Chains A and B, each alone.
Chain A
Amino acid sequence: MEWLNILIQGGLLGGIYALFAIGLSLSFGIMRLVNIAHGDLIVLSAYVALVVVENTGLDPISSLVIVVPMMFALGYALQRGLLNFTLSGGLLPPLLVTFGISVIIQNSLLQGFGAYTHRLQQGAIETASLPIPGGIAVGVYPLLVFAVAVLAIAGLQLFFYRTRLGRAFRAVSDDADTAELMGIDNRKLFALALGIAMIFTALAGVLFAIRTNFDPAAGPIRLILAFEAVIIGGLGSLWGTLLGGMVLGIAQAVGAALSPTWQILAGHLAFLIILIVRPSGLFPRTRD
Chain B
Amino acid sequence: MAPVHVDRATRASRIFVFVAVPALAALIALPWWSGPGNMRLVAEMAYYLALAQLWNLLAGYAGLVSVGQQAFVGLGAYAFYYMTGALNVNIYLALILAGPFAGLMSIPVSFAVFRLRGAYFAVGTWVVSEVFALAASLIGVLGAGSGLSLTPAIVRQIAPDRAGRDTIVYLMSLGVSLLVFAIVYLLLRSRHGLALTAIRDSEPASASLGVNTFRTKLTIYIATAACTGLVGALIFLQKLRLSPEAGFSINDWTVVVIFMVVIGGIGTIEGPFIGMLVYIVLRELLADFGTSYLILMGAIAVAVMLKAPGGIWGWVVQRYGLQLFPVGRRLVVAPSDGPPVLESSRRPRQEGSDSSPA
Contact = CB atoms under 8 A, between A and B. Distances in A.
Interface stretch (A15-23, A83-91, A237-245): A83-91
A171 interface: no
A99 interface: yes
Contacts, number: 129
Nearest to B119: A34
A104 B299 CA distance: 7
Nearest to B124: A275
A107 B292 contact: yes
B295 A91 contact: no
B295 A85 contact: no
B127 A268 contact: yes
B231 interface: no
Contacts of B259: 100, 103
Contact of A91 (B118, B258, B306): B118
Contact of A100 (B111, B112, B126, B305): B305
Chain A contact surface mostly: helix
A220 B126 contact: yes
Contacts of A100: 259, 298-299, 301-302, 305
B354 A89 contact: yes
Interface stretch (B76-84, B128-136, B170-178): B128-136
Contact of A111 (B59, B258, B295, B298): B295
Contacts of A275: 112, 115-116, 124
Given A96-B258, A279-B115, A107 B127 contact: no
Interface stretch (A42-50, A139-147, A198-206, A258-266): A258-266
B119 A111 contact: no
A81 B133 CA distance: 37
Contact of B123 (A85, A108, A227, A265): A227
Given A90-B351, A97-B305, A99-B67, A268 B134 contact: yes
A125 interface: no
Interface residues of A, number: 43
B123 to A, nearest CB: 5
Interface in B116-175: 116, 118-120, 122-124, 126-128, 130-131, 134-135, 137-138
Contacts of B301: 96, 99-100
A215 interface: no
A86 B306 contact: yes
A269 B115 contact: no
B305 A36 contact: no
Nearest to B295: A107
B266 interface: yes
Interface in A80-132: 82, 85-86, 88-97, 99-101, 103-104, 107-108, 110-111
Closest 6 CB pairs of A and B: A34-B119, A100-B302, A103-B298, A104-B298, A100-B298, A265-B134
Interface of B: 59, 63, 65, 67, 111-112, 115-116, 118-120, 122-124, 126-128, 130-131, 134-135, 137-138, 250, 255, 258-259, 262, 266, 290-292, 294-295, 297-299, 301-302, 305-306, 309, 351-352, 354, 358
Given A107-B292, A264-B134, A268-B134, 14 more contacts: A91-B65, A92-B65, A95-B122, A99-B301, A100-B305, A104-B294, A104-B298, A108-B295, A224-B127, A224-B130, A227-B123, A261-B137, A261-B138, A271-B127
16 contacts: A36-B123, A86-B306, A95-B118, A96-B258, A104-B294, A107-B292, A107-B295, A108-B295, A111-B290, A111-B291, A223-B123, A227-B120, A264-B130, A268-B127, A268-B130, A275-B124
